[in-house]
Structure formats: structure tokens, C-alpha cells
């Protein structure tokens, strides 16, 4: 039986020699995998296996054709100098082609220098997201097959061009600058404090995101909810919360929360409100706002924290969940959210909320009557 490992040691050299003659679109690494696969078949006595079977093992087929067409019209151009002299270097495992400029020798892909720069998704995922009729995190997660965190980021990128066609959306994504880098969590240095005393300097971006999420949930939140608000994984959020607890910024307590018709014991994380925590919050800015299209059917992001149980606030719609929104905001503790509900929710929803138990008497009923009377009064 031939020595498979001796055969595999020569695969890279053979692939480098044959790359440009037989399959110019296949990278050197791809040729190495192809020859290694053929060695396996040869060692098993299947010397007559078809070439298509071995090519399926490699799977390096370009899948970014529609994005190349949307950005350059089909002909790659260097993002640095604009030259169309390009040599294809290979294809990544996800189907992205790589080129090298013949003028300035810059290496690039179709996403270089765009809003999709360094994306980890396959090209088909972005094409599928651009072809969606409704742009929101739920639709993106279901149709594209990505996590909720990724779906929220994709929806945030596509919201400003939700009214355009799919080719125009792709063209807009590939002509938009990349997301601003730096530290979006660092606020303006408070007066009387030197920048070198910034307590956030040693914290990661994930820790700052979780700290901001804790500030938006003064009554506490679970690890899963904080992970969702911070747009990181639950495991990452758990590690960050433990680090914040050691620094004196956060604390964990056992509490009972409403779950259905009963109570459920859960672990809640909240701010520790120590001197160190107050100093860190002075340097922490609000969550970077994602540009969204104003539809008039959504809840302002500053009130999403009131919907801590059930459907997240960013997925609620006034036309579909008006009564639930009114019951939560009017009966909640946030006076600003209550004032917004009186001003923005339809009068029919407020009237229906007025008939519910707990809203039909007392101060809440008087506030609802005053809001309905003010909304229905003539100019």
C-alpha cells in the first residue's frame, strides 16, 4: 500500500506547479487538498474515482459574482488606485475571490473598504438579506439563517435603504464606508477629571457594552438578556460580568420575577453603585445609535428596556401589539415612557387599555381620560 503521508508531503509542491495550467481558479492550498484527497482514494484502491468527487472535497467555487457585478460592473478594480489590472490569487473557503492589483500590488476582495469589510458570512447570505421584502432582525434571522445578534447588525445596515430594490441595496452596501473604528463607548472627559484617570481604559469593548446594558436596566437583568442587549454571546457576557464584579462595577443577586402566572427564581445582575462604578459610568457614553428608518410603527429605543419579558421591544409593532405596549408603558414605572404612550399610541388603543382591570380606576384612569380628551379635542 502506498505511503499516504509521503504522498501528502509532496502535495503542496505539485499543486504549486500545476495550479496555473489545469485549474487557474484553484488556490495552492486547494490543490493540496485535492491531491491529498486523491491520495486517500488511491490508497483505498479507488484509482478511477471521477474528478468531480474530488473537487467536491475542495469546494472552492466563486460565489461573489452578484456582489462583484453590483460594485464594479463585473470587472474588479483596485480600491486603492482604481486600476483594473488584477490577478486572481484564489478563492476562500466561503467563496470570496481575492485579487492582487497589477499596479500597486494591493491585495483586496469585493468587500475591501466597504460596510461589509472583514465579513464572516458567505456571499449568498448578503444577497439573501438584500432580497428580503421586510428588513428587521426577525426576518433576517429566519430567512438568512444567522443568529439574532448578527441579524440585528445586518438589519441595521439595510434599514436606511429598505425602500430600494435588491441590486440597489447591494450597490449601497458596497459603496458605503466601513463601520467607524475606535472606541464608541468613550464619552467626553468629565470636567475636573484627567484623561489618564479613565477607569474604562483597561476594559474591553464587550465589557463596556455590558456595563452600558446594566445602566439601562436599573432593576437588574439576566445574563441572557444582557448578552442580547450587548450584542455578544451568552458565554462572553458571563465572563465579562464576572470581571465587572471583581472590579466592583456589578453584583449578582437571587430574585423572584414574574413568569406566566407565577414567580420564578433567577439570578439577576445589576450595577453595584460603588464609587468605582460611578466613576466608570461618568466616562461611559450611551450605546452607539444604529441608523434606522422612522416608520412610525415602532417603539423608540430608549423605551425598549421596559419590555424585559416576552417579545423584545425592538420587535414590537404598534399596529400589531398596541394593547400590550400600552399596558406595559402606561402601567410601568417610567414616566417618560408613559408620556410617550399617551402622545403616540392610537386613541383606540388607549380607550381599550382604559377598560382593562387595573386601568379603570384611580390615578391611571384619570391620566388615560385626560390623554384621550386631549387627543380627541379639536384644534
Q: Can you give the pLDDT at residue 239?
A: 93
Query: Which CA distances in Å does 311 have to 8, 316, 346?
Result: 54, 7, 20
Q: Residues 290-315: what's their mean pLDDT?
A: 70
Q: Is 267 helix (H, G, I), strand (E, B) or coil?
A: strand
Integer angstrom CA distances of residue 44 from 31, 34, 93, 297, 347: 20, 16, 27, 63, 76
CA distance 346 to 348: 5
The reported pLDDT for the residue numbered 81 is: 84
**Residue, of 6 and 308, whose pLDDT is higher:** 308
Q: How confident is the model at residue 254 (pLDDT cuts 50, 70, 90)?
A: very high
* Tens-digit pLDDT profile for residues 198-244: 777 778 888 888 998 898 888 889 999 899 888 888 999 999 999 99
Domains and CATH numbers, the chain: 4-58 (no CATH), 65-173 (no CATH), 195-283 (1.10.10.10), 301-376 (no CATH)
Angle at 68 between CA 63 and CA 71, to 5 degrees: 150
pLDDT at position 170 over 50: yes
Q: Are 354 and 339 in contact (CB under 8 A)?
A: no
Looking up cell 445586518, which residue turns up? 154
Each residue's pLDDT tens digit, 324-362: 999 989 988 888 788 888 888 999 999 999 999 888 888
- The residues pairing with 38 across neighbouring beta strands, listed in sequence order, are none
- The residues that bridge with 98 in the sheet, in sequence order, are 90
> Exposed/middle/buried for 301, CB within 10 Å: 0-12, 13-18, 19+?
middle
Pick the most confident of 21-25, 147-151, 239-243, 363-367. 239-243
Above pLDDT 90, what percent of the chain? Answer: 13
Percent with pLDDT over 70 in the chain: 74
Calculate Rg over the CA atoms of the chain.
28
Task: Give residue for cell 391620566.
Answer: 367
Q: What is the pLDDT of residues 83-118, one digit of tens each?
A: 888 899 888 888 899 999 988 888 999 988 888 888
Residues 85 and 119: beta-carbon distance below 8 Å: no
Position 298 confidence tier, pLDDT thresholds 50, 70, 90:
confident
Residues counted in the chain: 379
Mean pLDDT of the chain: 76
Confidence of residue 18 (pLDDT cuts 50, 70, 90): very low
Q: Which long-range contacts (CB under 8 A, 24 or more apart) does 23-29 make?
A: 24/88, 25/60, 25/62, 25/88, 25/90, 25/91, 26/58, 26/60, 26/90, 26/91, 27/60, 27/89, 27/90, 27/91, 28/90, 29/90
Residue 43 above 50 pLDDT?
no
Q: Which is more confident, 287 or 304? A: 304
Nearest of 73, 71, 107, 114 to residue 90 by alpha carbon: 107
- What is the full DSSP assignment across 220-244? -B-HHHHHHHHTS-HHHHHHHHHHH
Separation CA 121–CA 123 (nearest Å) = 7
* Global model pTM greater than 0.85: no
Residue 12 has pLDDT above 60, yes or no: no
Residue 51: pLDDT above 80? no
Element (H, E) at 259: strand 250-259
Q: For residues 262 and 146, which has the higher predicted lDDT (pLDDT)?
A: 146
Is the pLDDT score of 70 beyond 70? yes
Amino acid at each position: 500500500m502506498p505511503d499516504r503521508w509521503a504522498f501528502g508531503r509532496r502535495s503542496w509542491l505539485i499543486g504549486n506547479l500545476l495550479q496555473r495550467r489545469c485549474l487557474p481558479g484553484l488556490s495552492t492550498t486547494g490543490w493540496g487538498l485535492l491531491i491529498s484527497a486523491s491520495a486517500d482514494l488511491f490508497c483505498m484502491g479507488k484509482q478511477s474515482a471521477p474528478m468531480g468527487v474530488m473537487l467536491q472535497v475542495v469546494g472552492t467555487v466563486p460565489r461573489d459574482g452578484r456582489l462583484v457585478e453590483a460594485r464594479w460592473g463585473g470587472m474588479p478594480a483596485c480600491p486603492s488606485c482604481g486600476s483594473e489590472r488584477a490577478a486572481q490569487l484564489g478563492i476562500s473557503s466561503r467563496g470570496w475571490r481575492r485579487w492582487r492589483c497589477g499596479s500597486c500590488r494591493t491585495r483586496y476582495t469585493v468587500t475591501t473598504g466597504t460596510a461589509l469589510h472583514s465579513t464572516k458570512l458567505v456571499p449568498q447570505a448578503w444577497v439573501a438579506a438584500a432580497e428580503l421584502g421586510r428588513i428587521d432582525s426577525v426576518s433576517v434571522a429566519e430567512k438568512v439563517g444567522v443568529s439574532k445578534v448578527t441579524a440585528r447588525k445586518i438589519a441595521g445596515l439595510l434599514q436606511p435603504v429598505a425602500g430600494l430594490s435588491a441590486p440597489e441595496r447591494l450597490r449601497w452596501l458596497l459603496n458605503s464606508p466601513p463601520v467607524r473604528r475606535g472606541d464608541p463607548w468613550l464619552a467626553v472627559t468629565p470636567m475636573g477629571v484627567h484623561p489618564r484617570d479613565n477607569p474604562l481604559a483597561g476594559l474591553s469593548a464587550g465589557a463596556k457594552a455590558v456595563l452600558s446594558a446594566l445602566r439601562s436596566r436599573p432593576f437588574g437583568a439576566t445574563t441572557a438578556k444582557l448578552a442580547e442587549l450587548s450584542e455578544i454571546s451568552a458565554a462572553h457576557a458571563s465572563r465579562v460580568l464576572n470581571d465587572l464584579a471583581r472590579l466592583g462595577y456589578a453584583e449578582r443577586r437571587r430574585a423572584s420575577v414574574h413568569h406566566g402566572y407565577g414567580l420564578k427564581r433567577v439570578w439577576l445582575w445589576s450595577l453595584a453603585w460603588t464609587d468605582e462604578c460611578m466613576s466608570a459610568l461618568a466616562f461611559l457614553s450611551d450605546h452607539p445609535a444604529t441608523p434606522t428608518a422612522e416608520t412610525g410603527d415602532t417603539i423608540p429605543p430608549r423605551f425598549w428596556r421596559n419590555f424585559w419579558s416576552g417579545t423584545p421591544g425592538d420587535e414590537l409593532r404598534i399596529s400589531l401589539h398596541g394593547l400590550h405596549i400600552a399596558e406595559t408603558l402606561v402601567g410601568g414605572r417610567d414616566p417618560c415612557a408613559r408620556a410617550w404612550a399617551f402622545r403616540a399610541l392610537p386613541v383606540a388603543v388607549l380607550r381599550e387599555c382604559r377598560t382593562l382591570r387595573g386601568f379603570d380606576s384611580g390615578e391611571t384612569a384619570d391620566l388615560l381620560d385626560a390623554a384621550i380628551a386631549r387627543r380627541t379635542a379639536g384644534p
